Structure 1
Amino acid sequence: MGYAQVYSVALHGVAGEVIVVEADVSFGLPNFVVSGLPDAALSEARDRVRSAVTNSGGKWPLERIIVNLLPAHVRKHGSGFDTAVALAILAASSDLPVARLNEAVVLGELGLDGTVRPVRGVLPAVLAASRAGKAMALVPLANVTEARLVPDIEVLGTDSLGRLIGYLHGQESLLDPAAQPPPDEAAPLDLADVLGQERGRRVIELAAAGRHHVAMFGPPGTGKTMLAARLPGVLPPLDDQEAIEVTALHSIAGTLAPGAALIRRAPLQAPHHTASVAALVGGGSGLAKPGAVSLAHNGVLFLDECAEFSSGVLDALRQPLEDGEVRLRRTYGETAYPARTQLVMAANPCPCAKPGGRPACQCPSIVRRRYQSRLSGPLMDRVDLQVDLDPVRSTALLTTEHVEPSAIIAKRVLGAREIASDRWGPHAKTNGDVPASVLRDKRYRLPRPVLHPLTIELDRGRISARGFERSMRVAWTIADLDGRERPDAADVREALELRSRSVL
């Protein structure tokens, strides 16, 4: 009888912490106790681990077994501790040599037959182990490709507990599969498919260049959904840090495809209008899970038919849009998920949604106002670009003229972003993220004649102070795309026009 310990990792949001899984086997009535704030899945590991050990040829101790997970004040959840618990018990009861695991973390769920099954969140867990100084990660075979996305740590896989026991005895080798090419990604949708709607195409380009939020209104068939779905195709690829953040979130949510590489393309999330608050911003019992706004981190959150969403669901987006993260407090503590996303909304102007727009609409004006009032003022105040789209004419659909593809627009977007990143330096990478204090700095402050259209609208109460600042950010994006060093009065007027849904 004795004591042993093995290391694993607990996740809290996208942050991980190395956990000591310690086991003590002593004389007494047969009993199995798990302590250290385990959740239900971890408490049920008692039966899984016992069956897995016996079916793997190991000897289960018929004594008193205590498994503790340190630090004890940190909540642990999930079945990813199963393999570490089994190894710690075997080492404490039968002198299984686990010294080879002193610099390793062990992850994996156990089946009753001793197979080691894949778990969620392997990427952020291995990343946390690497940052904690661990040299090796032992993961389920199906998670090896994902774990190897983390540099500077050796990753080995196993398909069974029996193989892992044989490895520790020096009788077997762990699996080191050759790298497989990632599955092919579908080609992004092309803006060349959108005929007409020059105003809509301009808005999408501005949104991509400055990372601005967008709301598009118009009758069915005007191209709102087509435009929104093509926004990720003109966004720049994610850099290494952004790609790791996005991939880690999808790993935690279980939406990462097996064998997938780092997600380099800006993600697109388009939840249905019946989505709940928890589905949109995250939640759930116990430990809160990431929602659509976090899965769209560094990408696009598209709310089609946004006026059909519950007003409470929409208003729950206000804080994430402002702060770039979601903080969910539950009984077991607070969980933070990044949520730096671009919001794109599309809505019909009225409930009847006649294809012809206002001439064909039979809704009374009060019905139209009530329908659009579902989008609250505080939410819309955070949307930089708000435009009405008119129905497409036949001349646009039958044109034989060349329509600019996404590839050309993406080059302009990338150039504009590089200009903005060089200008703002450490303050922001895009115009949409520039702090208001920087905009008011004497180096970047625009002269009063240039800001005259905005000051008039602000003094008349037609825009808020937030709207004033967001319009200035859009004006900087317009200037960057058009090759001007600073915005002029025309840029400010266009930014205001694209916010007020009218032509000034």
Structure 2
Amino acid sequence: MLTKTYGSAVQGVNANTITIEVVVSQGTNFYVVGLADNAIKESQQRIEAALKIRGYRMPRTKVVVNMAPADIRKEGSAYDLPIALGILHASQQLTTDKLGDYVIMGELALDGELRPIRGVLPIAIQARKEGFKGILLPRANAQEAAIVNNLDVIPVENMQQAIDFFEGRLAIEPLTLDTRTVFQSTVNQYAADFADVQGQENIKRALEIAAAGGHNVIMIGPPGAGKTMLAKRLPSILPPLSIHEALETTKIHSVAGKLGANASLLTTRPFRAPHHTISDVALVGGGGNPQPGEISLAHNGVLFLDELPEFKRTVLEVMRQPLEERRVTISRAKVSIDFPSNFMLIASMNPCPCGYYNHPEKECVCGPGVVQRYLNKVSGPLLDRIDLHVEVTPVTFDQMTATLKAETSENIQRRVEKAREVQAARFEEFPEIHSNAMMPSQMVKELCQIGDAGRALLKTAMERLGLSARAYDRILKVARTIADLGGSETIELEHLAEAIQYRSLDREGWAG
């Protein structure tokens, strides 16, 4: 007897429906065909144990499981449940005509309990797109799947519940979730707040400009100056996620298995801070079956690289293209997958190996040329993609013990949102551009025009400070953002002057 059940295979951040055909006929052995990996071929042992414990039998005849289309690689143990139900139906131990109405996924334990799987959100989206009535899956994944409306989400805890549901002995109410209500109730809730930071007003100002224009930032300062603390608070002043951004971000984390059990929609901007020992594949993504890396997990959020010069040179260089294109392409012999990677990069570094170059109180003990060699670990092309270079100085005792309450993230965020609204109107005809940082050079010339006095100031700054040519466009973009924050339609001298000071690493002689 031939039986068909339906599962799903995740490729990139999208899913493809898999038809699982099961035939029980005369002969011996258990065969799985259709480009399945070892985890799927090993499912025979899990299925057989689960069936026996639940009082069913594994056919002692020839069982052929075909997973179509055969040119798509199937991986993982999430196909245990649809294969088991297909075997029961093909061997006439399960009587139902509803198997074809649902996408079925779940990993079986030896006692028939169901374990959670990854990639549920793109699977549910694809199931609705292809017109399935619903999706049957482990209860731990139900909240995530329920984000998708107009799809019956049937949560089950074990194989027996799935069998009883299909045979009509158990009525399971589909799990429903008001996505917008869940989103609105938890959006923009961050544990860290700029109100906790005493002093460092110039750094807060720089991060506000970065958030308003989507600019990348590098902070240079001695140990203990507060670089990491400030970076962790950056997401709290970025504009709140839209429902579309939240779904897009959740899909990536679902595919990577980062959501956890009983999770649903991500409503806060991600903040990823990989260790400096990370490999290039872990950063940009990859593997035999390509998985998203840290830059994709930071999509619509912040990627924080602490101690930037300590990262391997190859790791930093692979970020150059994603920073420009806002996506990363992972190519393999048979497949090429795009992962989105529209993130803000914020990096921090010490000014020298000992950490105290230019420190107001402590003396640097690094030898001649050591500071410059240390800074040269960060390549010019990568610095070219970082708009703001900010020097962080230690907080004084008086600032730390001040009783004056610092400005909250909420207040700063309101100013950032107003500036982003101005940019949204400016780039209305350019759907691929969302912020000033994304402007190409030609658009900078059109939208960042300055008067004669501004040109004279910029020329003087570039000559006296020895600023590099790459700093020119960056200064104009940042000045445009500062003007937007100030509600000015034109770039004034004070906007340019403030933007010029954020090019520390481009100055000749900055490191001696």
TM > 0.5:
yes
Match of 2:125 in 1: 127
Q: Counterpart of 1:208 in 2: which secondary structure?
A: helix
Distance in 1 separating the partners of 2:493 and 2:505? 18
Distance 1:369 1:502, change over 3 A: closer
Match of 2:19 in 1: 20
Distance 1:412 1:95, change over 3 A: same
1:351-399 superposed Cα distances (whole Å, 9 cap, x missing partner):
1124972751011231111111111111111001112122323342343
Task: Indicate the larger mover: 305-314 or 351-360.
Answer: 351-360
1:429-473 superposed Cα distances (whole Å, 9 cap, x missing partner):
2222234444345xx3514634555577889994345x4333332
Contact 2:218 2:347 in 1 (8 A): yes
Distance 1:395 1:502, change over 3 A: farther
Distance in 2 separating the partners of 1:89 and 1:432? 56
5 Å matches for 1:142-291?
A: 142-174=140-172, 176=174, 187-284=190-287, 286-291=288-293
Distance in 2 separating the partners of 1:51 and 1:128? 31
Task: Indicate the larger mover: 113-122 or 247-256.
Answer: 247-256
Amino acid at match of 1:485: E
Q: Say whether residues 1:361 and 2:359 are aligned partners.
A: no
1:190-222 superposed Cα distances (whole Å, 9 cap, x missing partner):
112222222211111011111110000011222
5 Å matches for 1:300-319?
A: 300-319=302-321
Amino acid at match of 1:232: P
Q: Counterpart of 2:31 in 1: which secondary structure?
A: strand
Alignment RMSD (CA, Å)? 2.7
Distance in 2 separating the partners of 1:448 and 1:455? 12
Distance 1:412 1:186, change over 3 A: closer
Identity of aligned residues (%): 40
Runs (5+) with no aligned partner, structure 1? none
Q: Counterpart of 1:473 in 2: which secondary structure?
A: helix
Q: Say whether residues 1:469 and 2:473 are aligned partners.
A: yes
Contact 1:164 1:174 in 2 (8 A): no
Distance 1:390 1:35, change over 3 A: same
Distance in 1 separating the partners of 2:192 and 2:146? 30
Task: Indicate the larger mover: 143-152 or 328-337.
Answer: 328-337
Distance 1:310 1:41, change over 3 A: same
Task: Indicate the larger mover: 222-231 or 125-134.
Answer: 125-134
Contact 1:188 1:232 in 2 (8 A): no
Contact 2:103 2:136 in 1 (8 A): yes
Task: Indicate the larger mover: 297-306 or 488-497.
Answer: 488-497
Q: Counterpart of 2:503 in 1: which secondary structure?
A: helix
Distance 1:102 1:470, change over 3 A: farther
Match of 1:8 in 2: 7
Contact 1:270 1:304 in 2 (8 A): yes
Amino acid at match of 2:224: G
1:415-440 superposed Cα distances (whole Å, 9 cap, x missing partner):
11111112211422222223444434
Amino acid at match of 1:350: C
Match of 1:336 in 2: 338
Amino acid at match of 1:108: G
Contact 1:221 1:355 in 2 (8 A): no
Contact 2:82 2:105 in 1 (8 A): yes
Contact 1:135 1:154 in 2 (8 A): yes
Q: Say whether residues 1:325 and 2:327 are aligned partners.
A: yes
Runs (5+) with no aligned partner, structure 2? none
Distance in 2 separating the partners of 1:98 and 1:432? 57
Distance in 1 separating the partners of 2:427 and 2:175? 45
Aligned counterpart in structure 1 of residue 45 of structure 2, from 9, 33, 47: 47
Amino acid at match of 2:490: R
Distance 1:76 1:426, change over 3 A: farther
Q: Counterpart of 1:425 in 2: which secondary structure?
A: coil
Contact 1:163 1:173 in 2 (8 A): no
Q: Say whether residues 1:494 and 2:501 are aligned partners.
A: no
Instruction: Name the TM-score, length of structure 1 as normaliser.
Output: 0.91
Distance in 2 separating the partners of 1:289 and 1:384? 29
Q: Counterpart of 1:346 in 2: which secondary structure?
A: strand
Match of 2:113 in 1: 115
